Amino acid sequence: MRDSATTFALISLMATAAFGPSPAAAETTKFEFWYGLSGDLGERVQEACKKFNDSQSEFEIVCTSQNGYDTTLQNTIAAYRAKKQPAITQIYDAGTLDMMLSGAFVPAKKLMADNGYTIDWSNYFGGIANYYATAGGELNSFPFNSSTAMFYYNVDAFQKAGVDFKPDTWEQVEEAARKLKAAGFECPLAFNFDTWPLMEQFSAIHNQPIATKANGYQGLDAELVVNKTKFVDHVNFFKKMADERLFVVKTKQLGMDTVPAFTSQTCQMIQTSIADHGTIGKSLPEGVKWDVAMLPVWKGTERQNSLVGGASLWVLAGRPEAEYKGAAAFLNYIATPEMAEWWSTVTGYIPVTKTGFDAMKSNGFYDKAPYKGREFAIQSLSFTPTSENTRGIRLGGFTQIRKEFATALEAIFMQNADVQAELDKTVERGNAVLRRFEKTYAGQTLN
């Protein structure tokens, strides 16, 4: 599912200062925005771009999907080297460190200040902003499509099985799974090998490190330690439950991933992004009762904030000043409370600012049936102030490391590999990725 780097030919852009005698005579400044979302979410990005273009006549944003987060990062790097980069690019969470060390961007604060915008940067939720900020807390990029992992469950199935509680702990999830199985439900819980909910989010809310050096925030010499934390016990639990057919692997390769498994009512519980909330609501048959909650924790755990997922928008260096004026105008536009509510309505992603969230609450957004429950994502992200284990993950080559752990999980659940041995080997391979990255950027420090 990962694409190799591809270099796209770009249309030459004309950025002309609007000094004409009247608005009608002024030429429009065009600038490009590359994004990784596709399908329905990609169409919503196009709609946001059209809204901006229709709102004014000074700028025209040209928005192009690169059909995947990995591809967007690879194409952005290739285009920058060829001096054909867009003004704005959407980079997912795992690519944050690559962008930081590239030096190929204009910091968010500088861009907005240079173009006359006064931004209250503290307005961004800390659990979101800290993933993309410097050690001093200054944002490098603009949080855009933000999400976190949530727990979805079929209320109708619960009632039929005699489950009368919301599963707040994994002990309760097990109890619910056993009751569902006894009531004839063949797939109580569906899961796949995505490390984002199973490893990354689990580690954060249980205050467990993924790696040393504050998950990489304090230096490129970080080492993975996830084979020595509560994550090992969690995987062993999943393995036990899978062996009893209480938890069932559902992947695209096996014919049905977790979200379709839930919306088809094949399986009754899943962990997935809050961004899937809209899809689930539209896909389940009308009248089916379901709900969403924060991810379960193990009993006795002092819950911590979860990690933000999704992507942020980076403004790339080396573009004409007129384009930066347009980029700042676009970024300011999509950050308005009105656009925050529209974006959350049509996608399922969450507002990234406190004012956006407060405006949506006061408008009764979260009281409406299609959107009820999405506020739990904000609650999860802001449950506690961020700590060394919950600020985020800033590891070099993290895309490859994710792949290594996904491969390990597949071996554990599909080939009956030993949990501890497989995780030990995966950490060794992941640390080799970190050392190569450290060598590539030798002498650079994280700010």
Q: What are the pLDDT digits (tens) for 219-270?
A: 999 999 999 999 999 999 999 999 999 999 999 999 999 999 999 999 999 9
Percent of the chain at pLDDT exceeding 70: 94
* Confidence at residue 437, expressed as pLDDT on a 0 to 100 scale: 95
Per-residue pLDDT, averaged over 198-204, amounts to: 98
Q: What is the CATH number of the domain that holds 329?
A: 3.40.190.10
For 71-124, what is each residue's pLDDT tens digit? Answer: 999 999 999 999 999 999 999 998 999 999 988 999 999 999 999 999 999 999
Q: Is there a domain that residue 395 lies in?
A: no
The pTM score is 0.89
Co-location of 414 and 268 in the same domain:
yes
Measured CA to CA in angstroms, residue 173 lies from 163, 189, 295, 373 at distances of 10, 9, 10, 19
* Confidence at residue 87, expressed as pLDDT on a 0 to 100 scale: 98
Q: Is there a domain that residue 388 lies in?
A: no
For 158-174, what is each residue's pLDDT tens digit? Answer: 999 999 999 999 999 99
Can you give the residue range of the structural domain that contains 209?
Answer: 149-306+402-440
Q: Is there a domain that residue 177 lies in?
A: yes
Co-location of 291 and 436 in the same domain:
yes
* Confidence at residue 116, expressed as pLDDT on a 0 to 100 scale: 96
Do 40 and 33 meet the contact criterion of CB atoms below 8 Å apart?
no
Co-location of 301 and 190 in the same domain:
yes
* Confidence at residue 104, expressed as pLDDT on a 0 to 100 scale: 94
Co-location of 179 and 128 in the same domain:
no
Identity of the amino acid at 278: G
* Confidence at residue 2, expressed as pLDDT on a 0 to 100 scale: 39
Average pLDDT, the chain: 92
How many CB atoms are closer than 10 A to CB 435?
15
Per-residue pLDDT, averaged over 372-396, amounts to: 94
The alpha carbon of residue 396 and the mean position of all alpha carbons in its chain are separated, in whole angstroms, by: 17
Q: How far apart are CA 265 and CA 187, in angstroms?
A: 9
The one-character DSSP state at 197 is: I
* Confidence at residue 15, expressed as pLDDT on a 0 to 100 scale: 33
Tokens of 391: 């600020």
Residue 23 has pLDDT above 80, yes or no: no
Do 85 and 318 meet the contact criterion of CB atoms below 8 Å apart?
yes
Co-location of 40 and 111 in the same domain:
yes
Co-location of 416 and 290 in the same domain:
yes
Identity of the amino acid at 108: A
Q: Is there a domain that residue 1 lies in?
A: no
* Confidence at residue 26, expressed as pLDDT on a 0 to 100 scale: 64
Co-location of 251 and 116 in the same domain:
no
Residue 301 has pLDDT above 70, yes or no: yes
Co-location of 281 and 427 in the same domain:
yes
Co-location of 114 and 155 in the same domain:
no
Contacts of residue 226, defined as CB under 8 A and 6 or more positions apart, other chains included, come to 199, 203, 208, 209, 210, 211, 405, 423, 427
**How many CA atoms lie less than 13 Å away from 82 in the CB half-sphere?**
14
Q: Is there a domain that residue 202 lies in?
A: yes
Co-location of 417 and 273 in the same domain:
yes
